[in-house]
Amino acid sequence: MNETLQKKVELLNSQMVVNQSSDQSHISHRFFLPEGIESLTISFSYSPKFVEYGPENQEIVRKAFDFYDDKLAKNKKVIKDFSPFKNLLTISIEDTIGFRGNCHRFHPEGYEIHVSDENSTPGVLNREMKSGMWTITINCHCILSETCDVQLIVHGTQSINQDKRWYNKPFEDIKKIDFTTNKESKIPSKNSAYSWKRSEIHCHTNHSDGVQTVEELVSKANELNISCLAITDHNTMSATEKLEQLEATYGVKLMRGIEWTTFYGHMLTLGYDQLTAINWSNVGPTSIEESIQEVKKEGAIVGIAHPYQLGSPFCTGCYWEYETLNLDYYDFIEVWNGENPHISRINKAAFETWTELLNQGARIPATCGRDWHVNETSKQLAFLYLYLPENPTIVDMRQAIKRGNSFVSMGPQIEFNAANEYISGDVLSVHNQDQINVQVDISEYNDSYAIVIDSNVGAVYRNDCEGDIRQAVEVKTNIDSQQVTWIRLLVYSDRRELIAFTNPIYFEAETYES
């Protein structure tokens, strides 16, 4: 797959058969132009070019003559003068900037079109060969034959090594990732009018590749005591056209979402202000940030889904291949995906990456998602618990996910706060404080388990427990001359499997200029 210096690279090869129903239509082909392509050669041919007057086209010809001049249809000499008729198909080209040109000409044989920053074929603009998504459109001006065979092949002359199929590994160099850490509010979130609500933010219906209908999904969510549900079909929002009616019937708060399913990674987009449609196919392997900005204009938040899931050809586009240089574009990372998430190798990799990002100073929340495709399962499920008011709005749900006012659990219910009022996702100023009182409550779990208060300097507290507990722990803000910048609660089963975790509470040591 790896191409070498100054080699021709095949970027597109399409062969098709069109018929008379494609007359006066446009058939577009989108492809990605990698970095280092200096020129394109577009080979285009179709057959037949010439069409004799006969049974396959006489009705079309007769109707045309009737429209223009009904006397012509009776004049056999006129038909003979026009014969043979011509199929006419041409090529239009769009690059990342816009429309680049059209080659509107009839060639008895196939022909080649050259595209470069200079010396392009007449009809095509000379300008920069910019990497990104390009479109070549076959313009079907006239098809008079019963069928027409079409071939379109695009080659690029490449000046650098480039692997066309796979691009980047997720978060390949964490130390190079930029992020902002001073945007969070330091106002505590704990509120007596709020509670932890069971939620699911990654699910599919028969509007994409899910088995269940929308109503069957929402009904099952109600049965599972899910309070908030985001419907995230692949590249479509059509399943969310009648949310209000379903909410009234089943008592589940519903949120519009889409799982952007690109060739180079999947992205959860949640909480759109209204029903909308955004064309995912505009996205190449280097242009995801532009699409994220487009999504956020619609009010939605954005998270990376299952970044380490095996990708093409096993699970098309599931592996996160986008170069992630600025974390501020993303509002969360799905670190637990699927059923039985606690024993998944890919989830462990995502959890470890999330921890590394936290240790680098990033403040990005983690979520879980069942990736719900089938209602019935015998496997264990995890749920995302959001801190919400009794009757939450979409804005409330978006904010809880984005701030990290949430925890993930396969059973235990968690209360985890610092200084009695700061919960997961909050930022606590620890200026001139040697230690912080942390409260840990575990309920609704009868088996033995272990709790760990984890941090950027490692575990700061551990205890073996059974049944409901309430514990107060004093956590130092500086350990072995290292500043504690975040803490989170981890819960392990008696088999030493992680079964629940919170998002961090962040500690910020304020400094004052003299």
Q: Same domain for 289 and 425? A: no
Residue 18: exposure state from Cβ atoms within 10 A (0-12, 13-18, ≥19): buried
Q: Same domain for 331 and 198? A: yes
Domain of residue 476, CATH code: 2.60.40.10
**pLDDT for residue 312:** 84
Domain end point (choices 98, 128, 163)? 163
Please, what is the end-to-end C-alpha distance for the chain in angstroms?
Answer: 60
What whole-number distance in Å separates Cα of residue 326 and Cα of residue 170? 13
Cβ atoms of 270 and 228 within 8 Å: the answer is no
Q: Same domain for 266 and 299? A: yes
Beta strands in 362-434 (DSSP E): 366-369, 383-389, 406-409, 413-418, 427-429
Structure tokens at 179: 């992020």
Please count the structural domains in the chain: 3
Q: Is residue 59 part of a domain?
A: no
Domain end point (choices 410, 431, 465)? 410
Q: Nearest CA to 305 among 366, 253, 357, 256? A: 366
For the chain, give me the number of helices (H) and strands (E)? Answer: 7, 32
pLDDT tens, N- to C-terminus, the chain (514 residues): 444 456 789 999 999 999 999 999 999 999 999 888 999 999 999 999 998 888 887 788 778 777 877 776 667 677 777 788 889 999 999 999 999 999 888 877 778 999 999 999 999 999 999 999 999 999 999 999 999 999 999 999 987 655 556 678 898 888 888 888 765 667 888 999 999 999 999 999 999 999 999 999 999 999 999 999 999 999 999 999 999 999 999 999 999 999 999 999 999 999 999 998 888 888 888 879 989 999 999 999 999 999 999 998 889 899 999 988 899 999 999 999 999 999 999 999 999 999 999 999 999 999 999 999 999 999 999 999 999 999 999 999 999 999 999 999 999 999 999 999 999 999 999 977 789 999 999 999 999 999 999 999 999 999 999 999 999 999 999 988 889 999 999 999 999 999 999 999 999 986 544 4
SS3 content of the chain, % helix, strand, coil (to 5): 20, 40, 45
**pLDDT for residue 513:** 47
| Spacing of C-alpha 97 from chain mean position | 23
Beta bridge partners of 112: 43
Q: Same domain for 322 and 417? A: no
| 309 phi, psi to nearest 5 deg | -60, 135
What whole-number distance in Å separates Cα of residue 62 and Cα of residue 58? 6
List the domain range (segments joined by +) for residue 330: 168-410
